[in-house]
Amino acid sequence: MQVYISVDMEGIAGVVNWKETFHNGEDYDRFRKLMTAETNAAVTAAFDEGVDRVVVNDSHGSMRNILIEELDSRAELISGSPKPMSMVEGLDDSYDAVLMVGYHCMAGAPGVLNHTYTGSVLQYRVNERRLGEIGMNAAAAGHYGVPVAFVSGDDCTVTEAEDLIPGVQTAQVKEHVGRQAARSLHPQKARRLIYEGVRQALSGELPEAFQVDVPVVISVQFNTTSRADGSHLLPGAKRIDPLTVQYTAPDYITALRAARALLELGV
C-alpha cells in the first residue's frame, strides 16, 4: 500500500496568523517545526498501519516549509515550487489513499485563514459546485481513482471535508474564533489525534474517490476586475461576468492546470 500526504500549514494546531506561515514571518520557524511534527504523526501512523511507502508533498506557500532533517526518515518529501500539480504534485494511480494534514476551509467560509489557493479568489466552482482546496485536490486524486481518507484542520475544515467526502476520517485540532483567531489543542494532543485518525482511516474501509463529471467546467471569481482582465487572456478562457472567468476542460487534471494558469495570470 502506498500513501500520499499533502501538507498545508494554515490548519496546523496553534497557527492563527499569516505571519506565522511565511518565510521571515514572525514565529515562522516555530510553526514550521510544528507542521513537520504533525506530518510525522501522519507518517508514523501510516507505517504503523503497515503501509509500504509514504510520499509527503509540502503544499504550502513556497512549498519549502517542512524540515526534511526532522521528517520521519521512512518518508520521501516533494518540496519547492512551482510544481506542475502544486498541492498534489506526483500523485497518480499508484497510490491507495491521500491524507491531507494542516488543511483549511474555502474562501468565505468562517474558519482560520480561510482562502482558496490565493487571497484573490472569492469563489472557485467546478461544474457549479463551490470547492475549496480540499475539493480541488480531492478531485485531482479522484481522477486517478484515489480516495481522500483523512483530513486535519480546524472545525470548519473538518465540516467541509465531511460534506464533500462521506466516510472520510478527520482530526479537528482547533476551533476558529475568527479568521485570525482560534482555540487550539496543544500540539502534542493534536499529533495524537492525527495519529489515531490516520490509523483508523487506513485500517477501515476507504471512502469512495471524489470524482467530478466531465467535461469539467471551472469558474474562478476574483476579488477585483483587474485580476479577471489578466486571467481571461488564457486561450480558451471565457469571461462570464466582470469578476469571473470560466474554462472548460476534458478532464479534471487539465482543469486544475487551467485553474492554476488562470490564477497566475490573474495577479
Q: In the stretch 239-258, what mask flags binding to Zn ion with x, by CB under 5 A?
A: --------------------
Nearer to Zn ion, 39 or 246 (CB): 39
Q: How far is the CB of 204 from Zn ion (least distance, A)?
A: 28
Q: How far is the CB of 161 from Zn ion (least distance, A)?
A: 15
Distances (CA, A) of 212 to 92, 131, 143, 157, 238: 16, 11, 8, 20, 21
Nearer to Zn ion, 182 or 216 (CB): 182
Nearer to Zn ion, 10 or 89 (CB): 10
The answer to whether the peptide bond before residue 84 is cis (omega within 30 degrees of 0) is: no
Which residue's Cβ lies closest to Zn ion? 60
Q: How far is the CB of 61 from Zn ion (least distance, A)?
A: 6
Q: How far is the CB of 39 from Zn ion (least distance, A)?
A: 14
Q: How far is the CB of 216 from Zn ion (least distance, A)?
A: 24
Nearer to Zn ion, 239 or 260 (CB): 260
From 6-14, 37-45, 145-153, 154-162, span contacting Zn ion (CB under 5 A): 6-14
Residues catalogued as catalytic: 115
Label residue 81 exposed, middle or buried (CB < 10 Å: 0-12, 13-18, 19+). Answer: middle
Asked if 96 interacts with Zn ion (CB under 5 A), we say no
Asked if 227 interacts with Zn ion (CB under 5 A), we say no
Q: Cα separation of 135 and 130, whole Å?
A: 9
Label residue 236 exposed, middle or buried (CB < 10 Å: 0-12, 13-18, 19+). Answer: exposed
Conformational region of residue 126, where left means phi above 0, alpha means psi within -120 to 50, and beta covers everything else: beta
From 26-34, 56-64, 81-89, 179-187, span contacting Zn ion (CB under 5 A): 56-64
Count of residues binding Zn ion (CB under 5 A)?
4
Q: How far is the CB of 56 from Zn ion (least distance, A)?
A: 15
Asked if 8 interacts with Zn ion (CB under 5 A), we say yes
Label residue 53 exposed, middle or buried (CB < 10 Å: 0-12, 13-18, 19+). Answer: middle
From 39-47, 55-63, 117-125, 156-164, span contacting Zn ion (CB under 5 A): 55-63
Q: Cα separation of 2 and 172, whole Å?
A: 24
Residue of 116, 108, 112, 89 lying closest to 7 (CA atoms): 89
Binder of Zn ion out of 32, 60, 176, 199 (CB under 5 A): 60
From 9-17, 118-126, 137-145, 241-249, span contacting Zn ion (CB under 5 A): 9-17
Asked if 89 interacts with Zn ion (CB under 5 A), we say no
| Segments in the chain forming alpha helices (H) | 28-48, 133-143, 155-164, 187-203, 225-231, 252-265
Q: Which residues contact 29 (CB under 8 A, 6 or more apart)?
A: none
Asked if 115 interacts with Zn ion (CB under 5 A), we say no
Q: Cα separation of 17 and 112, whole Å?
A: 8
Residues binding Zn ion (CB under 5 A)? 8-10, 60
